[in-house]
Amino acid sequence: MKTNHKIWLTFLAGASLAGCADQEIDNIYVEKPASIAQYEYLNSYGNLKDYLSQRTGINPYFKLGVGVSAADYNKFGQVYRVTNANFHQITAGNAMKYASIVNDNGEMDFSTVTAFVDAASKAGVEVYGHTLCWHEQQNVKYLNSLIADKELDIDPNEKL
């Protein structure tokens, strides 16, 4: 008797699951997410630098450039691929600035910049140098250490 109950229970469970599998749902519309629609729209265009070179009357020496994070470009991911496909020149966002190169004890580290320039050169993209000295983004800790033990003569009567 117990065996019959198990067989019938198994049969009913299987029948109910099989019955659901054959049902179709009609008239359901799901919109594409906006992000996918935007990518499809952008993908309908060619690469930017190819688009410019096909236009007549544009200066053949015109270079289309972009600023990117050197660290992101050096990962050889999406930033690398999009940059190489669309631009003639690139500039490292902050990697070539003083604060990014000089550490707290005054030692210079050009490894990120060197990798950036090497990767761009191999990809056939020109590198446009960036500002070495900037009104901000200085390594203040190191610069202050240079004058920490120096006495400064200050004239209280001097007008600034």
Give backbone dihedrals phi and psi of 66, rounded to 5 degrees, phi first. -150, 150
- Crossing angle of helices 78-86/111-123, nearest 10°? 50
Which whole number is the average pLDDT over 81-86? Answer: 92
| 50 band by pLDDT with thresholds 50, 70 and 90 | confident
Q: Which amino acid, 88? A: H
Structure-model confidence comparison of residues 7 and 23, the more confident one? 7
pLDDT tens track for 144-153 = 888 888 777 7
Q: Return d(Cα 143, Cα 138) in angstroms, integer.
A: 8
Q: Return d(Cα 87, Cα 73) in angstroms, integer.
A: 13
Structure-model confidence comparison of residues 122 and 14, the more confident one? 122
Q: Is the pTM of this model over 0.85?
A: no
How many Cβ atoms are within 10 Å of 25's Cβ, its own excluded?
5
Domains and CATH numbers, the chain: 64-147 (3.30.750)
pLDDT tens track for 19-47 = 554 456 667 777 777 778 777 877 777 88
